[in-house]
Structure 1
Amino acid sequence: MKKLELCRGLLGVCQLIRPQLLYRTVTGTTPSPGAVVLMRVLGARHVVQALLLAGAGPTTQGVKTWHRCGALVDLAHAATMVALACGDRRWRRPAGIDAALALAFSALEAR
């Protein structure tokens, strides 16, 4: 398993197990019940994506397509977070942080 998939998987597990603590640490506020559900859904996506990409193997020529698809999923996620941050002030900080993380994952996955 690559370090990137390990980091993604750990982030996903943290979002699944302790979303309230992660949210409070990042934003300094208590998450709403809807935010907790959303974080758990996104955490599950990160875990599944980490497992799929780790199973695809290293980024050799034959499996690079899987990693590029993962990068596109992260770009789509970043775009939705930017839209959410622009559309609702309450979500600006958490969505902006999540968008930045998704962009970082995307850039690292596309290499």
Structure 2
Amino acid sequence: MTYLEPLRAGYGLCQLTRPDFIAARILRHRLDSRATVVVRVLGARHLFQAAVIGLAPRSTFLHRAGAVVDLLHASTMVILALSDGRRRKAAFADAAVACFFATAELLSSAPPSKHGKPSRAT
């Protein structure tokens, strides 16, 4: 297992148990009741995704599927940010986090680097 699944699980656990923590401390934004429910659902999704990928951490398919889920999430957050001024700051921040996770998943799915190994050319 890489650093990614425990990081995702911790982030999801924070969203699930303290949905207002990131919004209040980092964004200086207060979540309404609807946003609180959505953040908790997203936290549960992160925990589920971390558990599934954690069961098969070398699965290229799971890492790439996780990246697709994260990119879909990021795109919905951008749409929300552009359409709802009250939620713009939080939505853009969540889109950035989703893009981070998508990038990390794609990097985790890449085959190991062969740098430093001698070539077998004849």
**TM-score using structure 2 length:** 0.84
Deviations 1:14-70 (A, max 9, x none): 001111222211321221011110100000000000000111122xxxx20111000
Identical aligned residues as a percent: 43
Query: What is the root-mean-square deviation in Å for CA atoms of aligned residues?
Result: 0.9
Equivalence map 1:9-88=2 (5 Å): 9-58=9-58, 63-88=59-84
Deviations 1:67-100 (A, max 9, x none): 1000000000000000000001111110001001
Give distance in 1, aligned partners of 2:106 and 2:20. Answer: 31
**TM-score using structure 1 length:** 0.92
Give the structure with the higher percent helix. 1
- Which amino acid in 2 is paired with 1:42? L
Q: 2:93 aligns with which of 93, 97, 111?
A: 97
- Which amino acid in 2 is paired with 1:82? V
Structure 1: unaligned runs, 5 residues or longer: none
Structure 2: unaligned runs, 5 residues or longer: 108-122
Q: Is the 8 A contact 1:85 1:95 kept in 2?
A: yes
Structure 1 runs of 4+ with >6 Å offset: none
Higher Cα Rg: structure 1 or 2?
Answer: 2
Q: How many residues align?
A: 107
